[in-house]
């Protein structure tokens, strides 16, 4: 569990944003990639439990801090008690909303002494990321151009497409000389699963339905596997199709 010494607490806008991003990534992982493990750990028969996201990107389900007041704002208490009394999807959505509130409270806790301009810059950076709730529920975020940071030309270079000779080819190879100038241009592109920013040295794939972008590792798609996919559908779009 977090114990923050005054000397080691993040102090600048960039440091606090990095702390926020790490905790957010951890919480999202618990509610998506590791959701079955998270669900099991939230046993209603146990005492009050909280979901903690750590700056390292690791998550933890454990008891709240004993000291009052705690060194940092605490996550929602007793999330495990509602687990079996709600629909699983609704319960995860509720935990996601409370997690968003906790993440913002942590950021404000560290940045409370900022002036107005610094707070505005910090929360502007945070607001560029989709909320945990949006990621977990695949909310009504439309795949707008300004959200993805990619134009159609970039998509044709990065997603799995059929070439002129009729063969599928994956054009998302990470060649430094081709993408080095694009890093800044695409810096606002976010992975639809973990919410991390675009990086040209990682494999990414775009959903041909919702047009959002994903780390290959987050959706368990490798460059080799992408070669054989005619039309890629992300996990969310695939599940929606199955319910129709």
Residue 211 has pLDDT above 60, yes or no: yes
Q: Nearest Cα to 132, choosing from 20, 11, 4? A: 20
What is the structure's pLDDT at 69?
A: 85
Residue 150 sits in the same domain as residue 72 = no
What pLDDT was estimated at residue 143?
A: 41
Whole-angstrom distance, CA of residue 36 vs CA of residue 146: 33
State the average pLDDT for the chain.
79
Whole-angstrom distance, CA of residue 96 vs CA of residue 102:
10
Verify that 85 and 13 share a domain, yes or no. yes
Least confident of 162-171, 196-205, 233-242: 162-171
The answer to the question of residue 183 being in a domain is yes
Do 121 and 237 have their domain in common?
no
Range picked from 43-57, 130-144, 147-161, 166-180 for highest mean pLDDT = 43-57
Domain that holds residue 28: 6-137
The answer to the question of residue 57 being in a domain is: yes
Based on the domain organization, do 152 and 239 belong to the same domain?
Answer: yes
Other CB atoms within a 10 A radius of the CB of residue 198 amount to 23
Q: Which residue has the higher pLDDT, 199 or 58?
A: 58
Q: Are residues 74 and 100 in the same domain?
A: yes
Instruction: Indicate if 21 and 117 belong to the same structural domain.
Output: yes
Q: Is 24 in contact with 103 (CB distance < 8 Å)?
A: yes
Residues 95 and 27: their CA atoms lie apart, in Å, by 10
- Weakest mean pLDDT among 10-14, 51-55, 175-179, 233-237: 175-179
Residue with the bigger pLDDT between 186 and 158: it is 186
Q: Same domain, yes or no, for 72 and 149?
A: no
The band of 110, judged by pLDDT with boundaries at 50, 70 and 90, is very high
| Domain identity same for 171 and 128 | no
**Residues 35 and 107 both lie in one domain:** yes
Residue 216 placed within a domain: yes
Q: Is the dihedral of CA 34, 57, 52, 104 positive or negative?
A: negative
Of the candidate ranges 19-23, 33-37, 179-183, the one whose mean pLDDT is the lowest: 179-183
> What was the pLDDT predicted at 199?
72
Mutual angle of helices 116-127 and 88-111, in 10-degree steps = 150
> Count of domains in the chain?
2
Any domain includes 76: yes
Distance CA(18)–CA(184), nearest Å, equals 18
Q: Model confidence at 203, in pLDDT bands (50, 70, 90)?
A: confident
Asked whether residue 171 carries a pLDDT value surpassing 50, the answer given is no
Is there a domain that residue 95 lies in? yes
Q: 13 in a domain, yes or no?
A: yes
Confidence bin at 240 (pLDDT 50/70/90): low
CATH number of the domain to which 235 belongs: 3.30.40.10
Cα 79 from Cα 72, distance rounded (Å) = 18
Quick: pLDDT tens for 73-103: 999 999 999 999 999 999 999 999 999 999 9
């Amino acid at each position: 569990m977090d114990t923050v010494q005054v000397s080691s607490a993040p102090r600048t806008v960039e440091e606090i944003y990095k702390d926020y991003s790490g905790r957010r990534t951890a919480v999202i992982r618990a509610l998506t990639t590791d959701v079955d493990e998270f669900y099991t750990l939230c046993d209603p028969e146990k005492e009050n439990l909280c979901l903690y996201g750590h700056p390292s990107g690791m998550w933890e389900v454990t008891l709240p801090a004993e000291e009052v007041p705690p060194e940092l704002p605490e996550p929602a208490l007793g999330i495990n008690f509602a687990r079996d009394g709600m629909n699983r999807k609704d319960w995860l959505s509720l935990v996601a909303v409370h997690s968003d509130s906790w993440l913002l409270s942590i950021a404000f806790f560290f940045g409370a002494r900022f002036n107005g301009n610094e707070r505005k810059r910090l929360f502007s950076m945070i607001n560029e990321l989709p909320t945990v709730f949006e990621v977990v529920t695949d909310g009504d975020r439309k795949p707008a151009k300004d959200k993805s940071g990619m134009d159609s030309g970039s998509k044709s270079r990065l997603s799995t497409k059929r070439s002129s000779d009729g063969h599928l080819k994956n054009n998302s190879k990470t060649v430094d000389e081709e993408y080095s100038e694009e890093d800044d241009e695409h810096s606002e592109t976010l992975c639809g699963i973990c919410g991390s920013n675009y990086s040209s040295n990682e494999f990414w794939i775009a959903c041909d339905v919702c047009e959002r972008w994903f780390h290959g590792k987050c959706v368990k798609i490798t460059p080799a596997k992408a070669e054989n996919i005619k039309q890629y559908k992300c996990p969310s779009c695939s599940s929606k199709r199955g319910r129709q």
